Amino acid sequence: MDSSKYSLRDFVYIPDADIMERASIFQSYMDDVKEKHHYQYRRVSLNGSGPTMEVVDTYTGEIKEMIYMASNDYLNLTRHPRVLAAGQSALLKYGAGAGSVPLLGGTLDIHTQLEKDIAAFKGCEDAIIYTSGFGSNCNTLLALLGKQDIAILDQYVHASIVDGCQRTNVRYFRHNNMDALEKILARAQDEYVTKLVIVDGVYSMDGDIAPLNKIVDLAHSYGAYVMVDEAHATGVIGRNGKGTPEHFSLEGKVDIVAGTFSKGLGAVGGFIASNSKLIEYLRFYSRGYMFSTAMTPQAAGSLSEALKVITSEPELRQRLWNNINYFRNNLLSLGFNLGNAETAIFPIIIGDDWKVKEMGRRLHEMGIYVNPVFYPAVSRKLSRIRISLMAGHTKEHLDKVLNALEYLGREADVIGSAVKEKIAATIE
């Protein structure tokens, strides 16, 4: 099969093929993706997240040290000595697992401590914690919204939110577009019992920030609530790294603050912070919480310490922002299209699936680990190389990546006039 003629979407459903046949057709697609060296998934790391990473090369089998530009471990807390020590001591004290679901025996004092810590960090009364960020969003929304309600979603919200809205009415508004949001709010005004506007604080594919101040004003003026997913904002934006509400001085004004423990906080899990009544309700009605074993002690121990580190070591966030500014200014002066990216996530928009796959292959060969993103993850005209930065990247790492991008961008003719002029000047 020629994989360049298909995308992952083509194998969601194949008429008359049962699940085994479908999997087998998909396999022949993937075999060709691998044959073309466009398979950039599940690269195996031997030492875990860091500015560089030892990776087993999928194609040669060799172990190589790569500059890791695809981690959400923005502050490198996965390896912070205090975070490691706290996780280790929780592991030794409480064991490898919590032993039961939270309501029926699995709640440890370090779980209730983490609930308090994350609620305080987010300026909310209480919080519920889950073992994954995906499960957190999805199960919370499944528990809260039904047929009588409506979820009003930015078109780019995360899949966990989309999946959580399967039991309710859903309307999408154009990304970050307040006129489009207002039209939906106006139409929904008297029709539904609960109206919940849901946005990401920082968008995972675009690295831009939701205009949360306008969203909250607008939603509240139409009697709707607001939920913000802080997965990529926590630890990164806001004066103290507390996220989008802090960035817009809205602490305590957003009805539901969701987030993950897996990115800026360096471990795993998710949370929902809100008023104490809503949180207690969720503890009894959110099936993914009730019927799933509580977070591992090691994660809970590490996470309370990670929250302390974010507050006591602002220099980590400062280092991340120095890197963001340096990388961004250089990419822009080279003429790359970064959309409206403002944070640690850089979409280098190429707008051609084949070129993105080829650039992904070449970057991998050069020892630079990025995520090529193409249809159906984003529309074809917005296909991109997605890069994310960490506090621990050095100027040498960033320069090496910038040089490679300039070289490949020039080769593929995907950079704007700025670089073309620069190149022309060198040739003359």
Ligand X SMILES: Cc1ncc(COP(=O)(O)O)c(C=O)c1O
Q: Which has the closest alpha carbon to 202: 96, 317, 345?
A: 345
Q: How far is the CB of 382 from ligand X (least distance, A)?
A: 17
State which residue, 133 or 288, has the beta carbon closest to ligand X.
133
Which residue in 204, 274, 286, 388 is the catalytic one?
A: 204
End-to-end CA distance of the chain: 46
Q: What Cα–Cα distance (Å) separates residue 358 from each residue in 25, 37, 411?
A: 24, 8, 11
Q: Which amino acid is at 370?
A: V
Question: Shortest distance, CB of residue 346 to ligand X, whole angstroms?
Answer: 15
Measured CA to CA, the distance from residue 321 to residue 374 in angstroms comes to: 27
- What is the residue whose two structure tokens read 């360096």? 266
- For residue 338, the minimal CB distance to ligand X (Å) is 18
| Residue 144, token pair as written in the block | 């809260």
What DSSP assignment string belongs to 264-315?
A: TTSS--EEEEE-HHHHHHHHHH-HHHHTSPPPPHHHHHHHHHHHHHHHH-HH
* Contact indicator for 331, 346 with CB cutoff of 8 Å: yes
Which CB atom, from 262 or from 323, has the smaller least distance to ligand X? 262
Is 34 marked active-site?
Answer: no
Cα 127 to Cα 227: distance, rounded to the nearest angstrom: 14
Residues across the chain: 428
> Are 192 and 221 in contact, with CB atoms under 8 Å apart?
no
Catalytic annotation on 263? Answer: yes
Rounded CA-CA distance 22/13 in Å is 8
Q: Which amino acid is at 77?
A: L
204 included as an active-site residue? yes
Rounded to the nearest whole angstrom, what is the least distance from the CB of residue 187 to ligand X in the complex? 27
Shorter beta-carbon distance to ligand X: residue 137 or 139: 137
- How do beta strands 195-200 and 225-229 pair? parallel
Q: Which is nearer to ligand X, 232 or 355 (CB)?
A: 232
Q: Give contact residues for ligand X (rule: CB under 6 A).
A: 132-134, 137, 158, 160, 200, 204, 229, 231-232, 260, 262, 270
| Nearest CB to ligand X, comparing residues 272 and 334 | 272
Residue nearest to ligand X (CB): 133
> Omega before 376 cis (within 30°)?
yes
Smallest distance, ligand X to C-beta of residue 50, A: 18
Q: What is the dihedral of CA 328, 334, 338, 343, to 10 degrees?
A: 0
Question: At closest approach, how far in Å is the CB of 207 from ligand X?
Answer: 11
Output 124 or 268, the one with its CB closest to ligand X.
Answer: 268
Please list the active-site residues.
Answer: 204, 232, 263
